[in-house]
Amino acid sequence: MALMKKIEFSDLEFEDLLRCEPEAGRLFFNNRRALIFDAATMGILRQHLFNTTGWDLSMGILSRFGYEHGYNDAKMLGKMFNWKTDTDWLASGPFIHTLEGLVHVTPQKIEFDRKTGHFHMHGIWRNSYEAETHLKLFGRSARGPVCWTLTGYASGYASCFFGKNLLAIETECVGKGDARCYFEIRPVDKWGGEALSYLNALKAVDVAGQLREAENRFYDIALISSDWIWEVNADGLYTYCSLGVTRILGYTPEELVKKKHFYDLFHPEERERMKTMQLGIFAKKEAFNLAVSRNRHKNGEPVILETKGVPILDNDGKLLGYRGSATDITGRKRAEDALCEAEEKYRMQFEGALDAIFVADPETGLLIDLNLAATKLVGREKSELIGRHQQILHPFPIPGEKLSDDTFNRHVNGEQGLILESKVITKTGEIKDVAIMGTMLKIKGRQVLQGIFRDVTVQKKLEAGLQRSEKLSAIGQLAAGVAHEINNPLGIILGFAQSVVKRIKESDSLFLPLKSIEREAVRCKDLVQSLLVFSRSSQNEKLEELDLNAAMEGSLTLILSQTKTRNVELVRELCSGLPRINANRSHIQQVLINLANNAIDAMPEGGTLIISTSLSARQPGHVEIRVRDTGTGIPKEIQKKIFDPFFTTKEVGKGTGLGLSLVYEIVSKHGGTVELESEEGKGTEFTVFLPVSAASPATGDSL
C-alpha cells in the first residue's frame, strides 16, 4: 500500500473539505455531516439559553459543546491526514475554524514537549462570531469574556492532540469591550485562580436531573417539616398547602386550597389590619420575613404564627403569587410571657452582668432568655436564640470533647455551683472557650436553668502561649548560654589548629591529627552558630510587604549551587501574579533554605527537589510554598516530633535538630502554618501557608 503524502496544515483547501449531496439533502465538511446556520440563529439559541438557565449554566453548555467539537476534530484530523509535523496537526484545528467562518485564528506562539509535558500556546481571535453576537443581544459583558464555544473548542482540540488535560482561557474579549480577543492554552495545573470558572464550565451538569431532585427535595421537606409550607396566587387564594397546616391549624390542605384566602385564617380581631398590611406588601412585590400574626385554629383556639414569604414573578416581572412557610411560635410566646413575670425582680442585674447569662427550660433544653453579654458572646440576636435548643450554642461533637448536653445535664441534675469548662460557637463560626456555672431557679412556680458563661478564650490562649514561650525561652537561654560558653575556647582551639597546620608539612606526623582537630572544630563552630540563631528566633524583626517569588530568588540560587554537587535536580514551579505578603525577607529565605537542606539530605543517592508557589485553595487568603523531594521519606511514628527543638534523625555530627523547629517558629510568627506529607521510600512534601497582605494586589512577576 502506498504511503499517504505528508502535508502541512496550509495545504488544506475549503473546496477539498466540502462535499455536497443535494439529491440526498446532505452536506459534508471535513468528512462529517454539516448544517448551515447563520450567526443570528446561533444568537437566538444563546439568548434562550441565557433566559432559561442564566450565565453560569449557559457558559457550561456552550463550553462543553465547543470542547466535544474540538476534541472530535483533533481526533479525526489526526487519522485522516499524514502530517509533516505535530505542529501542522495542532495548527490545523485553528485553520479549520477559520475555514468554517467561526473566527479568524492567528497563533502567535506554539511550544510543546510531549516528554516533559510542557505546552504553551497563545494567539489572537479576530471576527469572533460569538463576541459579535453577544454584543448585539446583550451589550458589553460585565462579567468577563464570552467566546465560550471557542475556548471550549481550543481546550478540547489541544487536549486530544497532546494527550493531557489542557485549558484555553480568553484573557481579552471584544465582547466585554476589549480591542481584540486573545486566548492562551496551558496545562490545567499551570493556571491559577483565573481557571476556576472555565474548569467549572467544563464539568458536565445534569440540569433536568437537578430540577427533578430539587422538586423531590421540596416535597420531602414539605412532608417532614414541622412548619407549614404554602403558596397563594396574586389574590391571596391558597394554591398549595403542605400537611404542616393540619398540625398547626387543624385544617387539611384540601379544606384550604382554592377555597380560602390567607386572610381568612387571621384572628377576627386582627383580620382587617393584617389583610391591609399583607396586601400592601403584595402590591410592592416585596419579600417578608418573621411576620408575626395571631390566627385561629379550626377548634377556635388562638395560634401565633411566624411567617416568611417571597414573591413569585414571571419573566416580565408580573406578580403570580407568593410562597413561604409559617412556624407555630405559640409555645415560644408563652415561654416569653412567663418569663416577664420574673423579669422585674432581677432584670437590672441580669442585663447589667458582664458575664453572659442564658436561661433555658431544664426539661426541653429550649432557651427562654439571654442577656446582652450573651448576644455579644455568640454574636446572635435574642430573636435568633429564644425558643431554640441550647445545643445551638455549642460546636460539638468535637473529637476528644464531651457533648455539651453532658454539661447541661450535670447542672440540671443538681450539681449546683459547679464550674465546668466547655466551648461555644459564634454566628460566624468562631470557637470560644467558656467556664459555665449553672443554677436552678424557680420563677413563678416554673423551674428554669440559668447558666453563667464566662469567656476564658483569651486566658486559655495566654496560658498556652505562656507555656510554649517559657519552654522555648528556656531552650533559647540554654542554647545561648551554651553557645557563648563554648564559642571562646572553641575559637582558641580552631585558631591554634589552623595556625600550626600552616606551619608544618603534610609529611609531618602531626599534620593529619591537626587537620582532624581543625575539621571537627569547624563543625562545632557551625553548631554553635545554629544555637545562636535559634536563641534569637523569637526576637521581633521588621516585617515588610514582599513579593514572595522575588524574596525567594536569593535562596533558590544558593539551593541550586548545593543541588549541583549532590546529584539533585532542582525544579522551580513559581506561580506568577501572587498577592504580596507581610513578612521578614531573611526569615522567609531561612525557612526555604532549611526545608531545602533537609530535602537534599534526604536524597543521598540523588533525586528531584521541586519548589513551588501558588495561591492556596485549601486555605483561602493564603499563599503556599511547597518543598517536595523524592527521598527516603519520614516514618509515621516520628512525624509528630520533627518540629521539636533538637530532634533529628540524622547521624551524629550531621544535624543539630534545630532547622525544622526554626521553620515552625518563623512561620507561626508570620501567622501561618506548616503541614507535612510523607511516605517512606517515596519522599516528603512540606507545605507552608502564609497569609496574604490585605492591602496588596497581586504582583505581575513571573519567575
Asked whether residue 300 is domain-assigned, the answer is yes
Beta bridge partners of 296: 302
pLDDT at res. 290: 80
Domain boundary residue, one of 293, 328, 363 = 328
- Residue 506 resides in a domain: yes
Q: Could you tell me which residue, 650 or 489, shows the higher pLDDT?
A: 489
Higher-confidence position of 415 and 496: 496
> What is the tens place of the pLDDT at every residue in 521-580?
776 776 666 555 555 554 556 788 999 999 888 778 778 878 888 899 999 999 999 999
Does the pLDDT of residue 609 top 90, yes or no?
A: yes
Q: What is the pLDDT of residues 323-343, one digit of tens each?
A: 999 999 998 888 777 666 656
Residue 75 makes CB contacts below 8 A (sequence gap 6+) with 160
Residue 530 and residue 658: Cα distance in Å, rounded?
7
Q: Are residues 295 and 340 in the same domain?
A: no
pLDDT of residue 668: 83
Contact call for residues 395 and 427 (beta carbons, < 8 A) = no
Average pLDDT, integer, range 307-322: 89
Mean pLDDT of 624-629: 95
Amino acid 508: pLDDT: 83
For β-strands 82-83 and 6-7, DSSP reports them as parallel
On whether the CB atoms of residues 183 and 168 are closer than 8 A, the answer is yes
Higher pLDDT, residue 468 or 453: 453
Give the pairing type, strands 367-370 and 419-425. unpaired
Residue 700 pLDDT greater than 50, yes or no: no
* Sheet (strand 622-629) strand order: 568-574, 607-615, 622-629, 683-691, 673-679
Give the pLDDT of residue 324.
92
pLDDT of residue 670 exceeding 90: no
Q: Helix, strand or coil for residue 519?
A: helix
Kindly indicate the confidence band of residue 703, based on its pLDDT and cuts at 50, 70 and 90.
very low
Task: Give a yes or no: residue 7 inside a domain.
Answer: no
Return d(Cα 528, Cα 522) in angstroms, integer.
Answer: 10
Among the candidates 306, 328, 350, a domain finishes at: 328
Q: Which residue from 454, 381, 386 is spatially nearest to 424, judged by alpha carbons? A: 454
How high does pLDDT run on average in the chain?
Answer: 83
Question: Phi and psi of 25, rounded to 5°?
Answer: 70, 35
User: DSSP strand E in 566-697: where?
Assistant: 568-574, 581-583, 607-615, 622-629, 673-679, 683-691
Q: How confident is the model at residue 85 (pLDDT cuts 50, 70, 90)?
A: very high
Indicate whether 697 belongs to any domain.
no
Residue 308 burial (CB count, 10 A):
14
Q: How confident is the model at residue 400 (pLDDT cuts 50, 70, 90)?
A: very low
* Predicted pLDDT at 111: 94
Closest CA to 36 of 44, 26, 46, 48: 26
Q: Name the residue type at position 636.
A: K
| Domain at 427, CATH number | 3.30.450.20
Cell of 399: 473529637
Q: Please check whether residues 371 and 385 belong to one and the same domain.
A: yes
Contact status, residue 534 vs residue 662, Cβ threshold 8 Å: yes
Residue that wins the pLDDT comparison between 597 and 414: 597
For 143, other C-beta atoms within 10 Å of its C-beta total 10
The grid cell for 437 is 456555672
For 340, which DSSP code? H
Same domain? 573 vs 628: yes
Q: Are residues 63 and 182 in the same domain?
A: yes
Cα distance between residue 138 and residue 310, in whole Å = 28
- The C-alpha atoms of residue 201 and residue 215 are separated, in whole angstroms, by 24
Average pLDDT over residues 639-660: 67
Q: How confident is the model over 359-392, as pLDDT tens digits?
A: 999 888 899 999 999 999 999 999 999 999 988 9
| Residue 444 confidence (pLDDT) | 65
For residue 170, count other CB atoms closer than 10 A to its CB: 26
Mean pLDDT of 638-642: 81
Determine, yes or no, domain membership for 696: no
pLDDT at 399 over 50: no
Q: Stretch 55-75: mean pLDDT, rounded?
A: 90
Q: Is residue 15 part of a domain?
A: no
Q: What pLDDT is recorded for position 291?
A: 86
Dihedral angle sign, alpha carbons of residues 214, 220, 226, 231:
positive
Residue 397 has pLDDT above 60, yes or no: no
Buried b (16+ CB within 10 A) or exposed e, 534-573: bbebeeeeeeeebbbbebbeebbeebeeebeeeebebebe
Of 455, 482, 507, the position where a domain reaches its end is: 455
Residue 168 in any domain: the answer is yes
3-class SS of residue 235? coil
Grid coordinates given for 625: 510554598
pLDDT of residue 606: 92
Cis amide prior to 635 (ω within 30 degrees): no
Query: What's the CA gap between 378 and 432, in Å, rounded?
Result: 9
Cβ burial, residue 3 (10 Å; 0-12/13-18/19+): exposed
At 531, which CATH number? 1.10.287.130
CATH number reported for the structural domain that contains residue 80 in this entry: 3.30.1380.20
* Cell numbers found for residue 544: 515588610
Q: SS in 3 state form for 55-122?
A: HHHHHHHHHHHHHHHHHHHHHHHHHHCEECCHHHHHHHHHHHHHHCCCCEEEEEEEEEECCCCEEEEE
Co-location of 676 and 628 in the same domain: yes
Q: How far apart are CA 560 and CA 538, in angstroms?
A: 29
- The DSSP symbol for 240 reads E
Give the sign of the dihedral formed by CA 555, CA 560, CA 566, CA 570.
Answer: positive
Q: Looking up cell 440576636, which residue turns up? A: 381
Strand pairing class (607-615; 568-574): parallel
Q: CA angle, corner 160, sides to 159 and 162, nearest 5? A: 65
Q: Are residues 199 and 220 in the same domain?
A: no
Domain count along the chain? 5
Residues 602 and 666 in one domain: yes
Q: What is the DSSP letter of 393?
A: G
Instruction: Dig out the grid coordinates for 210 from the structure.
Output: 437537578
- Would you state the pLDDT for residue 398? 46
3-state class (DSSP) for residue 370: strand
The CA-to-CA distance between both ends of the chain, in Å, stands at: 51
How does pLDDT run across 252-293, given as a tens digit for each residue? 999 999 999 999 999 998 899 989 999 999 999 999 988 899
For residue 656, pLDDT over 80 is answered with no
More confident: 167 or 561: 167
Q: Are 601 and 650 in contact (CB under 8 A)?
A: yes
Of the candidates 168, 191, 29, the residue with the CA atom closest to the CA atom of residue 100: 29
Task: Indicate the pLDDT class of residue 231, thresholds 50, 70 and 90.
Answer: very high
Q: What is the pLDDT of residue 538?
A: 47
C-alpha cell at 633: 521519606
Element (H, E) at 292: strand 288-296
Cβ-based neighbour number of residue 366 at 10 Å: 17
538 vs 623 pLDDT, higher one: 623
Same domain as 251, residue 108: no
Q: How would residue 20 be classed by pLDDT, with cut points 50, 70 and 90?
A: confident
Angle value at C-alpha 406, between 400 and 409, nearest 5 degrees: 175
Q: What is the tens place of the pLDDT at every residue in 588-603? A: 888 888 899 889 988 9
For residue 638, the tally of other CB atoms under 10 A from its CB is 12
The secondary structure of residue 651, as a DSSP letter, is: P
pLDDT of residue 192: 87
Whole-number pLDDT of residue 117: 93
Question: If pLDDT is split at 50, 70 and 90, which confidence band does 45 have?
Answer: confident
Residue 184 structural domain: 37-205
Residues 196 and 261 in one domain: no
Q: What is the pLDDT of residues 200-226, one digit of tens each?
A: 878 765 655 666 676 677 677 767 777
Cα separations in angstroms, 71 against 161, 256, 277, 578: 8, 56, 59, 32
Sign of the dihedral through C-alpha 122, 83, 6, 84: positive
pLDDT at 417: 62
Q: What per-residue confidence (pLDDT) applies to 2?
A: 42
Query: Over the range 50-84, which residues count as b (16 or more CB within 10 Å of their CB) and which as e?
Result: beeeeeebbbbbbbbebbebbbebbeebeeebebe
Do residues 176 and 241 both lie within one domain? no
457-515 per-position pLDDT tens digit: 888 866 654 555 455 555 555 555 565 567 677 777 877 778 887 888 888 888 888 88
Same domain, 566 and 677: yes
Does residue 143 sit in the same domain as residue 244?
Answer: no
pLDDT exceeding 70 applies to what percent of the chain? 83
463: exposed, middle or buried (Cβ count in 10 Å: 0-12, 13-18, 19+): exposed
- Residue 611's pLDDT band (cuts 50, 70, 90): very high
Identify the three-state secondary structure at position 163. coil
**Alpha-carbon torsion (301, 305, 311, 312), positive or negative:** negative
pTM: 0.37
**Which 3 state secondary structure label does DSSP give 541?**
coil
User: Is 14 contained in some domain?
Assistant: no
**Choice among 96-100, 278-282, 441-445, 550-554 with the minimum mean pLDDT:** 441-445
